[in-house]
Amino acid sequence: MSDSVVSDSVVIVGAGPVGLMLAHELALAGVRAVVIERSPEIDDRTVSGLIHARSVELLEQRGLMEPLRREHGEPLVWDRLHFASFWLDMSELAETDHSVVLLQNHIQRVLSDHAAARGVRILRRHELIGLSQDEEGVTARVRSPLGEEEIRCRYLVGCDGEDSAVRELAGFAVTRSGPSWYGLLADVGSYAGPVGAGSFHEGGMFGQFGDASTMFRLMTIEIGVEAPPPDRPVTLDEVRASIERITGERPTVEEPLWLRRHGNVTILADHYRNGRVFLAGDAAHFQFHPAGHAVTIGLQDAVNLGWKLAADVQDRAPAGLLDTYEAERRPYGRRACVYGRAQMALLDTADGPSALREVFGELLDHEVVNRHLVRAATDARHPAGGGDGLLGRRVPLVRLGTAGGEVPVADTLHAARGVLLDLSGGAEPPDVTGWKDRVDVVAAEPAPEIPASAVLVRPDGHIAWAGETAAAAGGLRPALAAWFGEPAE
C-alpha cells in the first residue's frame, strides 16, 4: 500500500467535466476526493462548444459561471437547437432553454482549479488497471509513470467515458442498441469545399465552421457506419473521404491542427451502482448527441450524486439515499439514449425514414412538440413530485428580495447545502431545529415564480418539499429527515 491510501475519500476516474464537477461537489461538502486521469493535461482543443441552459444553471448555483465570465467573457447565447437536423422553433423557449457557446476545455480548467483549491487531488498520467471492493470500501489499482500503487477509498465513481474502464472492471452489465455512428472532428488551417453549419445530406451530417482568419472546424457524422479501429490514427484522407461520402463533393483539406474520431453504438448501463462503485456521464449512458446535451446530462448526474455520497461518507445519510441516484438519473440517461436513436432513425436515408421525416417535419409546426423535444432529456423532474406541483422540479433561479437586498436563488446554493426558502414575508419563522448543520434558512419576500410560502431545496437545486406555511406544515420535518437524515440532538 502506498501513502496515498485515504479510507474516507472518494476516487473519481476521469477528469472531464463530469468527473471534475463531482470532485468539486464533494470538496464543497468537505469530503476528500482523488481524481485519476490518463491524459497528461487538459486538451486545448475541445469536442464540445455548446452547453444547454441547465448546465449554466448548475454552474451558476455553485458560483462557477463568474470565473468563466471573468476569464473568457460573457458566453454567446445560441437560441437554436436541432433534432435530427430539424431546427426547432425556440421563440417561446429561448429565455430558459437556449444553449451558450462555452468551450469544454474552459469549463474543465475552471472546475480543475476550483476543485484543486479545495483540496482535490488530481492525479494525471494515472490509469486505473484494477479494482476490488468489500463491505468497507474499494481498492483501486493504478498505474503511473512511477509504477503501480493502490488507493483505498470509501467509494469509487467511473466518469471515464463510453469505453469506461470502471464499468468493465466492476462488472457492470450494459445494453447496447441501435445502429452505429461514425464521426470526425478536424481543425485545419486550409479548407475549400462544401459549406454549411450542421447541414443534412443523404449520406449523413456535415458541418463547416470558422473562416480563414483563424481555422476551420470540420464535422462529419455517418449513420450505420462503423468507425475504424481506435488504434488507427486519423488522417486527412479519412476526413476527405468522409466529407465526400456525405456531400458527394471531394474537398481540399490541408494543414491539420487537430483530428479526432468519435462514435459507437448506444450504450446504457443496466444499473448505475454496483456495491460501492458508481457510474456517471458517458460511462453510464452513451448516446448519439449532436445537439450537445451529453455534457448537460452528465453534469446533472454529478450534482445529483455528489451531495448524497458526501452525506454517506460523513455518516449522516438517511437510509436509501444513495439508491435514489440511480432511481432519479437513470430514467433521463435512458431517455437520452432513446431520443438519440430516434434522431439516427430520422437521419436514415431509406424510403421509410424519408417519409417519417416528412411527417415529423409537419408535427414540428405545433409548439407543444417543439417544447417537448427541447426539454425531454434536460428538464429533469424527480419522482418525489406528482402532477403539476413544485415537488421534484428545479427551483426557479429568480432574484429574491431579502432584508439585505436582492439575492439570486443560485447564490443561496453556492455551499452545496440544503436551503429552506422562507417566502412568507416574515409571517412565521421556519423550524429547522436539529438540521441547522445541513440546511440554511433564507427569509425573503414572496416570489410569484415560486407559488409557495416555503420550499425545501436539496443541494442539487431540486425541491424536496413545498408548503403554505413554514412553521406549521406537518410535512417539513419528515422531508428534512428523508433527505438530510435524523436531526442532531
Which pairing describes strands 86-87 and 82-83: parallel, antiparallel, or unpaired? antiparallel
Q: Which residue has the higher pLDDT, 297 or 381?
A: 297
pLDDT band of residue 352 (cuts 50, 70, 90) is low
Q: Which of 375, 409, 430 is the last residue of a domain?
A: 375
Q: Which is nearest to 463 in space by CA: 425, 428, 414, 413?
A: 413
- Model pLDDT for residues 76-99, shown as the tens digit of each residue: 777 777 788 787 877 777 677 777
pLDDT at 290: 67
Whether residues 130 and 84 share a domain: the answer is yes
Whether residues 44 and 163 share a domain: the answer is yes
Q: For the residues 216-227, what does the mean pLDDT come to?
A: 87
Domain assignment of residue 405, yes or no: yes
Whether residues 254 and 344 share a domain: the answer is no
Please, are residues 464 and 384 in contact by the beta-carbon 8 Å criterion?
A: yes
pLDDT at 213: 66
Q: Which residues of 89-109 are buried (b: 16+ CB within 10 A; e: fewer)?
A: bbeebbeebbbbebbbbbbbb
Q: For 104-108, 112-116, 207-211, 221-225, which range has the lowest pLDDT when averaged over its residues?
A: 207-211
End-to-end CA distance of the chain: 39
pLDDT band of residue 349 (cuts 50, 70, 90) is low
Q: For the residues 305-317, what does the mean pLDDT come to?
A: 96
Q: Which of 331, 360, 375 is the last residue of a domain?
A: 375
pLDDT at 376: 77
Domain assignment of residue 89, yes or no: yes
Domain assignment of residue 489, yes or no: no
Q: DSSP readout, 169-235?
A: HTT--EEEES--EEEEEEEEEEEES---SSEEETTEEEEEEE-TTS-EEEEEEEET-PPPPTTSPP-
Place of cell 471573468: 70
What's the CA gap between 407 and 153, in Å, rounded?
A: 38
Place of cell 468507425: 227
103's grid cell: 468551450
- Model pLDDT for residues 253-294, shown as the tens digit of each residue: 999 999 999 888 999 999 999 999 999 999 999 998 765 678
206: CATH: 3.30.70.2450
pLDDT band of residue 2 (cuts 50, 70, 90) is very low
Whether residues 165 and 56 share a domain: the answer is yes
Q: For the residues 46-53, what does the mean pLDDT come to?
A: 76
pLDDT band of residue 157 (cuts 50, 70, 90) is very high
Domain assignment of residue 250, yes or no: yes
- Per the structure, the count of domains in the chain is 3
pLDDT at 94: 66
Structural domain including 461 reads 399-484
Q: For 72-86, 178-192, 389-403, which range has the lowest pLDDT when averaged over its residues?
A: 72-86
Phi, psi of 283 (to 5 degrees): -65, -30
pLDDT at 72: 87
pLDDT at 441: 94
288: CATH: 3.50.50.60
pLDDT at 7: 66
Whether residues 291 and 245 share a domain: the answer is no
* Residue 170 clears pLDDT 70, i.e. is over it: yes
Whether residues 145 and 22 share a domain: the answer is yes
pLDDT at 373: 86
> What is the overall mean pLDDT for the chain?
88
Domain assignment of residue 392, yes or no: no
Domain assignment of residue 290, yes or no: yes
Q: 73: Cβ–Cβ under 8 A, 6 or more apart, which residues?
A: none
Task: Give me the percent of the chain exceeding a pLDDT of 70.
Answer: 92
Q: Which residue has the higher pLDDT, 27 or 91?
A: 27
Whether residues 478 and 353 share a domain: the answer is no
Q: Which residue has the higher pLDDT, 344 or 319?
A: 319
Whether residues 423 and 371 share a domain: the answer is no
Whether residues 321 and 358 share a domain: the answer is yes
Q: Which of 216, 234, 262 is the last residue of a domain?
A: 262
Domain assignment of residue 391, yes or no: no
pLDDT band of residue 3 (cuts 50, 70, 90) is very low
Q: Which is nearest to 185 in space by CA: 202, 213, 208?
A: 208
pLDDT at 388: 54
pLDDT at 96: 77
Place of cell 469549463: 107
What's the CA gap between 309 and 326, in Å, rounded?
A: 13
Whether residues 250 and 271 share a domain: the answer is no
pLDDT at 1: 39
Q: 446: Cβ–Cβ under 8 A, 6 or more apart, which residues?
A: 423, 424, 425, 453
Q: For 6-20, 102-116, 290-304, which range has the lowest pLDDT when averaged over its residues?
A: 290-304
Which pairing describes strands 266-269 and 463-467: parallel, antiparallel, or unpaired? unpaired
Domain assignment of residue 393, yes or no: no
Whether residues 209 and 113 share a domain: the answer is no
Q: 137: Cβ–Cβ under 8 A, 6 or more apart, which residues?
A: 7, 152, 153, 154, 155, 276
Helices (H), 127-179: 165-169
465: CATH: 3.40.30.120
pLDDT at 459: 97
Q: For 61-70, 148-157, 273-282, 359-368, which range has the lowest pLDDT when averaged over its residues?
A: 359-368
Q: For the residues 17-24, what does the mean pLDDT come to?
A: 98
Q: For the residues 28-53, what does the mean pLDDT come to?
A: 88
- Model pLDDT for residues 129-145, shown as the tens digit of each residue: 999 999 999 999 999 99
Strand partners, 36: 13, 123
User: Going edge to edge, which strands form the sheet with 127-133?
Assistant: 127-133, 138-144, 147-153
Whether residues 218 and 158 share a domain: the answer is no
